[in-house]
Amino acid sequence: MISDISLIGIAIFLVSLVISLSFHESMHAFMAFWLGDDTANEQGRLTINPLKHIDPFTTVLLPMVLLLFGYPPFLIAKPVPFNPYRVRWGDFGAALVGLAGPLSNLLLAFVGVSLLRVFGLVDGTLVYDSLYLFVQLNIAIFVFNMIPFPPLDGSRVLYAVAPDPLRAVMKQIESFGIMGIVLFMFLLFPLLIPIVSYVNTFLLQIFLG
């Protein structure tokens, strides 16, 4: 596999990350637009252009600070705005908008695996290792984003079927914005790491066999 400290490895990781996050966010925008909400389109987010989806703080500064203090790097692309009251099918339409991003990463992982198998690439070559990393990254993005904690995408799915008391709690958490995510990463996520790791490994085994 590509060395974690090699410049080539870092470059491949960053390129894979930019592609994966840009595709993820643009699919949110396209799904919202298809369901009748043009908020993202009005703000120029109906595109896979990465410059439209990068947030200076959460995509660049936050992971740099975490690395500086010895924590695992964590970043968030600029959330795609959408109005849940303007999409068709109400809460279920909003859930589809939420699902569009993570499912796009599963699709990218499938494309990566397909390329590995169709071209019969050999383990240890640069192309094989690059695609393998691309698959791993997209599965990890899918698993993380499906955690049903606001404002992660999985919370949209949970909200569509949740009872009113739980919805009220989720709305309160989402109102915290980026601080809610920071608290989640440092307080709740460490407790979920075993579950997330298991699901991530399970999906990798399915995809990569």
pLDDT, averaged in runs of 10, over the chain (209 residues): 62 85 94 95 91 80 68 73 92 96 95 87 83 91 91 92 93 82 78 86 84
pLDDT at 15: 85
Check residue 63 and give its pLDDT: 67
CA distance 36 to 127: 40
Q: Report d(CA 91, CA 18) in Å as an integer.
A: 29
CA atoms within 13 A on the CB side of 94: 18
- Stated pTM of the model: 0.88
Residue 83 vs residues 87, 94, 167, 192, 194: alpha-carbon distances, Å: 7, 8, 17, 30, 34
CB of 19 closer than 8 Å to CB of 77:
no
Q: What pLDDT score does 3 carry?
A: 47
Residue of 12, 17, 23, 25 marked active site? 25
DSSP state of 106: H
Distance CA 208, CA 200 (A): 12
* 25: annotated active-site residue: yes
> Residue 103's closest CA among 181, 35, 23, 170?
23
Q: What is the pLDDT of residue 207?
A: 83
pLDDT at 179: 77
pLDDT of residue 87: 94
- Within the chain, how many helices (H) and strands (E) appear? 9, 0
Per-residue pLDDT at 67: 61
Distance between CA 168 and CA 155 in Å, rounded?
12
